[in-house]
């Protein structure tokens, strides 16, 4: 790529490239969630106990956290396109292995690898921010993140529908093919971006702890979203178990339709980006956190197996996804304003911390549902955003 083209790309990001990055992020991150509505099917197929079902999702998220800490920071020192494509090829291979395995230990190991490679999405998000101007960064990041969030939300109904027709292995085979094709497309069309930093990899990793210690905005935004994402993961890990239980007898298609309603929540992402560009991040954060608290309390007010109860679940899912989507974009807009040369490391730390929260939520969700049922899971789920609200109350007004 010649310098003239590179300078042009830095000034503005074309609409087609924004759409491509949004689509790519959606395809990639969906791999973290395909198993979520299928935990019952997969658990019985590979021989896991009911109490261990949550680890199917948890290990994928742990792999993602590891990748965020040790792979995403490489975006600050090596060519970004090559890094993304390499990660995608690794992910495609892992998905292919998941599509053919029927043994519990191997499936859990492969799940970890799927999460590890899927961090390619979090190299693409800072990439989009590099290509945007300061005035439009919130909008661009919001648009790209809306694609990522749509991937999260569409992954659940898609995997349910595919599993209902072809079995649960099929969704992994389908995704392996899609990710492989995506790797080829991105290699062909993405502009190259070679960071100017001459930092070594070990020095890069060593600097991350210092960044965490010296960047209060990063710590605060990561803590907020870790709490909200724990509740998000707990809800979407346990609600398929509730809907497939004797109280509902939902088929995989019915669970897919329920999961589809959460897609409406992704509309909050671009809206949150525009709000952040106007300087209204703090009040919007408070609204997002309170929305998540309300979304978890709502199903507790109505019997789950009644028509009103199902309606409350639908509304709860939409509000939950909207609150989490908005808070994510608000947080990334904040940290992407801190410095271009450290953006990949900041994003890696931010995502790693809150995905660790999500892994905790998934694990606790599976355990609490097995031990105490749906209501017990919800009461535990409401604790996390309440803690975020208490911490948010200590945030001082910035000059």
Q: Is the per-residue pLDDT at 142 higher than 80? A: no
Question: Which of 150-154, 218-222, 237-241, 266-270 has the highest mean predicted lDDT (pLDDT)?
Answer: 218-222
pLDDT digits (tens, 9 = 90+) for 248-270: 888 878 888 887 877 777 777 77
3 state SS of 15: helix
pLDDT of 6 reads 43
Q: Is the per-residue pLDDT at 157 higher than 60? A: yes
Q: Is the per-residue pLDDT at 1 higher than 60? A: no
3 state SS of 389: helix
- What whole-number distance in Å separates Cα of residue 79 and Cα of residue 237? 36
Q: Is the per-residue pLDDT at 292 higher than 70? A: yes
φ, ψ of residue 240 in degrees (nearest 5): -65, -35
- The band of 7, judged by pLDDT with boundaries at 50, 70 and 90, is very low
User: Would the pTM of this model clear 0.85, i.e. be above it?
Assistant: no
Sign of the Cα torsion 235, 59, 128, 278 reads: positive
- The band of 320, judged by pLDDT with boundaries at 50, 70 and 90, is very high
Question: Which of 151-155, 183-187, 215-219 has the highest mean predicted lDDT (pLDDT)?
Answer: 183-187
When mean pLDDT is compared across 93-102, 337-346, 389-398, the lowest value belongs to 337-346
List the one residue out of 346, 257, 366, 351 whose CA is nearest residue 29: 351
When mean pLDDT is compared across 40-54, 66-80, 130-144, 219-233, the lowest value belongs to 130-144
pLDDT above 90 as % of the chain: 34
Structure tokens belonging to residue 245 = 């239980």
**Domains of the chain (ranges plus CATH)?**
3-392 (1.20.1250.20)
Other Cβ atoms less than 10 A from the Cβ of 105: the count is 10
């Amino acid at each position: 790529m010649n310098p003239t083209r590179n300078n042009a790309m830095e000034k503005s990001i074309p609409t087609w490239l924004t759409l491509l990055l949004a689509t790519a992020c959606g395809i990639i991150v969906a791999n973290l969630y395909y198993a979520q509505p299928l935990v019952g099917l997969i658990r019985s197929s590979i021989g896991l106990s009911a109490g261990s079902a949550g680890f199917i999702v948890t290990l994928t998220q742990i792999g993602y956290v590891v990748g965020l800490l040790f792979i995403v920071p490489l975006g600050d020192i090596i060519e970004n396109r090559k890094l993304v494509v390499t990660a995608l090829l690794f992910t495609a291979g892992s998905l292919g292995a998941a599509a053919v395995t029927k043994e519990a230990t191997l499936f859990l190991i492969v799940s970890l690898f799927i999460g590890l490679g899927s961090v390619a999405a979090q190299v693409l998000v800072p990439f989009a921010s590099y290509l945007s101007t300061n005035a439009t960064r919130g909008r661009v990041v919001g648009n790209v993140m809306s694609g990522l969030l749509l991937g999260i939300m569409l992954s659940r109904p898609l995997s349910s529908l595919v599993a209902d027709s072809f079995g649960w292995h099929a969704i992994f085979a389908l995704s392996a093919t899609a990710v492989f094709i995506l790797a080829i497309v991105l290699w062909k069309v993405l502009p190259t971006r070679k960071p100017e930093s001459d930092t070594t990899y070990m020095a890069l990793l060593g600097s991350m702890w210092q960044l965490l210690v010296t960047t209060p905005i990063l710590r605060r935004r990561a803590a907020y979203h870790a709490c909200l994402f724990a509740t998000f993961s707990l809800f979407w890990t346990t609600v398929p178990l509730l809907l497939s239980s004797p109280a509902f007898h939902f088929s995989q298609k019915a669970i897919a339709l329920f999961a589809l309603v959460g897609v409406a929540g992704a509309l909050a992402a671009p809206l949150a980006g525009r709000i952040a560009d106007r300087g209204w991040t703090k009040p919007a954060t408070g609204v997002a956190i309170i929305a998540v608290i309300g979304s978890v309390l709502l199903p507790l007010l109505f019997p789950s197996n009644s028509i009103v109860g199902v309606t409350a679940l639908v509304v709860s899912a939409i509000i939950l996804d909207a609150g989490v989507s908005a808070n994510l974009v608000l947080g990334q807009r904040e940290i992407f304003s801190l410095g271009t040369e450290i953006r990949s490391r900041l994003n890696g730390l931010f995502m790693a911390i809150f995905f660790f929260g999500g892994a905790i939520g998934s694990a606790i969700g599976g355990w609490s549902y097995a031990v105490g049922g749906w209501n017990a899971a919800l009461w535990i789920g409401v604790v996390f955003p309440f803690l975020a609200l208490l911490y948010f109350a200590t945030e001082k007004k910035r000059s």
